[in-house]
Amino acid sequence: MAETMTVRQATMALLREHGMTTVFGNPGSTELGFLDRWPNDIRYVLGLQEASVVAMADGFARATGRPALCNLHSAAGVGHALGNVFTAFRNQAPVVITAGQQARGLLPGNPFLGATEAASFPKPYVKWSCEPARAEDVPAALAHAVHLAAQRPQGPTFVSIPSDDWQAPTRPLPPRRVSQDVAPDPALLADCAQALAAARNPVLVIGPEVDAEGAGDAAVALAEKLCAPVWASPFSARLSFPEDHALFAGHLAAAPPAVSNALAAHDLVLVLGAPVFTFHVAGDCALFRDGTPIWQVTPDAEALAAAGAGTGIQASLRLALPALAALLPPTDRAPAPPRARPAPPPAARPIAAEYLFHALSRLLPEDAVVVEEAPSHRPALQRHLPIRRWGGFYTMASGGLGYSLPAAVGVSLAHPGRRVCAIIGDGSMMYSIQALWTAAQHALPLTTIVVNNGGYGAMRSFSRVLGTEGVPGIDLPGIDFVALARGMGCAGLRVEDPAHLPDALAAALRHAAPMVLDVAVDAAIPTLYHKG
Per residue of the chain (532 residues), what is the pLDDT tens digit? 468 899 999 999 999 999 999 999 999 999 999 999 999 999 999 999 999 999 999 999 999 999 999 999 999 999 999 999 999 999 999 999 999 999 898 888 888 888 899 999 999 999 999 999 999 999 999 999 999 999 999 999 999 999 999 999 999 999 899 999 999 999 999 999 999 999 999 999 999 999 999 999 999 999 999 999 999 999 999 999 999 999 999 999 999 999 999 999 999 999 999 999 998 888 888 888 888 999 999 999 999 999 878 999 999 999 999 999 999 999 999 888 888 888 999 999 999 999 999 999 999 999 999 999 999 899 999 999 999 999 999 999 987 799 999 999 999 999 999 999 999 999 999 999 999 999 999 999 999 999 998 755 455 555 555 556 666 656 667 799 999 999 999 999 999 999 999 999 999 999 999 999 999 998 876 666 554 4
C-alpha distances out from residue 331 to 80, 217, 221, 224, Å: 54, 19, 13, 10
Catalytic residue among 399, 487, 500, 530: 399
**Which is catalytic among the residues 47, 50, 129, 209?**
50
Q: Which of 224, 280, 283, 361 is catalytic?
A: 280
The secondary structure of 88-142 as a DSSP string is HHHHT--EEEEEEE--GGGGGG--TT--TTGGGTTTTSSS-EE--SSGGGHHHHH
Which one of 28, 33, 410, 455 is the catalytic residue?
Answer: 28
What is the distance between the alpha carbons of residues 131 and 137, in angstroms, rounded to a whole number?
Answer: 9
Active site residue: 29, 120, 179, 500, which one?
A: 29
- The helix (run of H) or strand (run of E) holding residue 303 is helix 301-306
Residue 375 is classified by DSSP as G
Contact predicate 206/233, CB 8 Å: yes
To the query of whether residue 399 is one of the catalytic residues in this protein, the response is yes
Please report which helix (H) or strand (E) contains residue 495, including its range.
strand 491-495
- Secondary-structure class of domain 5-170 per CATH: alpha beta
- Sort residue 69 into left (φ over 0), alpha (ψ -120 to 50) or beta: beta
Going by C-beta distance under 8 Å and a sequence separation of 6 or more, which residues neighbour residue 328?
Answer: 193, 196, 197, 222, 225, 226
Q: Is 29 a catalytic residue?
A: yes
Name 396's bridge partners: none
Which member of 18, 25, 31, 354 is catalytic?
Answer: 31
Q: Is 376 a catalytic residue?
A: no
CA–CA separation, 323 vs 319, rounded Å? 7
Which superfamily is assigned to 186-327 in CATH? TPP-binding domain (3.40.50.1220)
Residue 460 and residue 471: Cα distance in Å, rounded? 9
Answer yes or no: same fold for 5-170 and 353-520: yes
* Residue-range domain boundaries for the chain: 5-170, 186-327, 353-520
Q: For residues 511 and 485, is the Cβ–Cβ distance under 8 A?
A: no
427 noted as active-site residue: no
Query: Does the annotation mark 469 as catalytic?
Result: no
Q: Give the architecture-level CATH label for domain 353-520.
A: 3-Layer(aba) Sandwich (3.40)
pTM: 0.94
* Phi, psi angle pair for 326, to nearest 5°: -65, -25
Task: Write down the catalytic residue from 73, 266, 377, 511.
Answer: 73
Active site residue 147: no
Contact between 351 and 495 under an 8 Å Cβ cutoff? The reply is yes
Peptide bond into 350 cis (omega under 30): yes
372 noted as active-site residue: no
